[in-house]
Amino acid sequence: MQGRRTDTTSHPRWWVWLFALLLWPMAAAASTPARIGPDASYAALAPHTTYLHDAGGAATLDEAQRLLDTGRFAPLPNGDASFGFQTGAFWFHVAVTNTNAREQRWLLVQQYALSDRIDIYARYPDGRTVHHTGGDTFPFEHRSIRYRHPNFWLELPTDQPVDLLVRVQSQSSMQVPLFLYTPAAFAELSRDGQLGIGIYYGILVALFFYNLVLWLVLRDGSYFWYLFHITAFGLVLFTLNGLGFEYFWPHSTWLADKSVPLSVCLAQIGMQQFSRTFLGLNTRWRWGDRISKAIIAFFVLLGIAATQLPYHVATPIASAAVFPSIAWIAVIALVVVRSGYRPAKVFLLAWTMFLLGTGIFVALAFGLLPKTFMTEYGVQIGSALEMLLLSVALGYRYAALRNENERIVRDAKNQLEEQVITRTAELRQAMSELESAHHRLRESSRLDGLTDLYNRTHFREAFEHLLSQSRNSQRPISLLMIDLDHFKRINDTYGHLVGDDCLRCTSNTLAEALRPHGALLARFGGEEFIAALPGMGLGEASVVAEELRQALRAQPCRSGELEIAISASIGVHCVDLEARDSLESALQVADQALYTAKAEGRDCVRTL
């Protein structure tokens, strides 16, 4: 995204002046300039911003500047830059003076992911104008920084007023919260934002795989549609947060345009179908079931049409249709609760959480609510609670079905003994399969999620068994404590995603090098690994440790186009079998040896 000089020689069109005169009664005094303090690291620009709605979308920079000079721009309503779905373009103006002498390069972030086109005009006291463009009609790599929200580098010389004119034109909801950040402040913002999003999607992924196992075991259709609901709604938020454009289709502006209405339609189809199957509408309320099917058919047709309809037509229709869709699910839940179906109570509670979160988010999209933390992230909070409660409701429903089966067995015991035996066998089989599923889930907990090595908990259990075998056979056993050198520098320089790639690469190198020795290898935490070498004394273990060190040096880690050299410090300890060393004491000695390796310059092997 390159800045360029802008020629300002054109003349305003007559209708722009007419539009401005019509707006004159609503215009207010210009807001105060934004003054960045000497120690400030970020600035919210909304309190200092004025705006103009160019309904025709054809005003040029010169025309907007003249309208600004004649006082036609108005302050943001209640300091909020959310206007809902609007036609044409919006112009925003803010005057910025930077008094922070240490920071002259700032990042302007438009904290809404779905704006189509954004033009930034920075006008300096020496008369030059620098122009930047962005938005999701440009490929993702067009952005100054690879980040889900549009962003632009600005030079703000110390104590020099800079006029910013921002033009936004979009078929999406018009939301333009503008913020300035220093590079360090933006790094913290993006880190915290990614953490929150990671927690949310971590919950969704955990629920997905847990219920996937249950569906594969139980073959209950409700679990399948629950998985569909989680996936589709996760895609909705992935799209609305700008993560879909960042990770899934960074080169496809068509998908960036169509993904919102399509994902909304898929999510509503999943919600309605899950509600039908969970509540058993086909048997409890046939008319309600027919209406739910009609709603599903509507969203199927709308999803197909959204691939051809303009964004400004398809998206408002899909967004508006969310209100009656989720309200209808609340209605059928109430009806089924009144019929006496107890699992529907938990379902209704879950849906209330989702209804609140989604209602707040859609109201924000239409400009009915201001943009705050709760309105921006209410849908994530509400949907996370809803999906957790729905998972509980599925378990409650399964328990209710099991209890109902047991009641039938008891009532029919005297007359239908053979049928009772069959029912009991089926129930036991289901319970056994559920137990097996839980056992497989427990097995997966032995592995570290990032590197697929064993985790610390499993290493402790397995090492105690190896130590007992060594004592019985009087064969030595040694420990290697391995720590990657200067790993924090890699994270700080390239980011945590590159750091994760390095950890995976390192774990593969360690596993390949240790496999011939029958070692027990685990990730001990962070950038630290541990290995147990049964049958090896201190000398042999030291030789293996040196091989490991050299293998790491010879095998740089790749992350994308980066090649990153990795080295490690290794501490070696041979467990004294006669002293009845505990695992903790053996680890402590190995860690001391590791500390010695670090103290003596790193990238070496040391023993005690």
Q: Which residues are catalytic?
A: 527
Task: Locate 351 and state its tokens.
Answer: 């849906």
What is the rounded distance in angstroms from the CA atom of residue 253 to the CA atom of residue 207? 31
Angle at 221 between CA 219 and CA 225, to 5 degrees: 125
**Residue 37, CB-side half-sphere exposure with 13 Å CA sphere:** 6
Q: What is the DSSP string of 466-525?
A: HHHHHHHHT--EEEEEEEETTHHHHHHHH-HHHHHHHHHHHHHHHHHHHGGGT-EEEEEE
Q: How far are the Cα atoms of 38, 226, 356, 374 from residue 381, in angstroms, in the given order?
A: 37, 18, 10, 9
> What sign does the dihedral 421-423-427-432 (CA atoms) show?
positive
What is the rounded distance in angstroms from the CA atom of residue 567 to the CA atom of residue 551? 9
What is the rounded distance in angstroms from the CA atom of residue 425 to the CA atom of residue 21? 82
Rg of the chain over all Cα atoms, to the nearest angstrom: 31
> How buried is 403 (Cβ within 10 angstroms: 0-12 exposed, 13-18 middle, 19+ buried)?
exposed
Q: SS3 for 114?
A: coil
Give Cβ neighbours of residue 372 (< 8 Å, ≥ 6 apart): none
H/E stretch holding 106 reads strand 105-110
Identify the bridge partners of residue 421 per DSSP, sorted by sequence position.
Answer: none
Three-state secondary structure of 432-480: HHHHHHHHHHHHHCCECCCCCCECHHHHHHHHHHHHHHHHHHCCCEEEE
Nearest to 224 by CA among 278, 263, 266: 278
Report the amino acid identity of residue 71: G
Report the amino acid identity of residue 404: E
Report the amino acid identity of residue 362: V
Identify the bridge partners of residue 107 per DSSP, sorted by sequence position.
Answer: 153, 181
Cβ(176)–Cβ(40) below 8 Å: no
Cβ(524)–Cβ(456) below 8 Å: yes
Cβ(403)–Cβ(410) below 8 Å: no
C-alpha torsion 278→279→280→281, nearest 10: -130
What is the rounded distance in angstroms from the CA atom of residue 545 to the CA atom of residue 538? 10
Count of C-beta atoms within a 10 Å radius of residue 182? 20
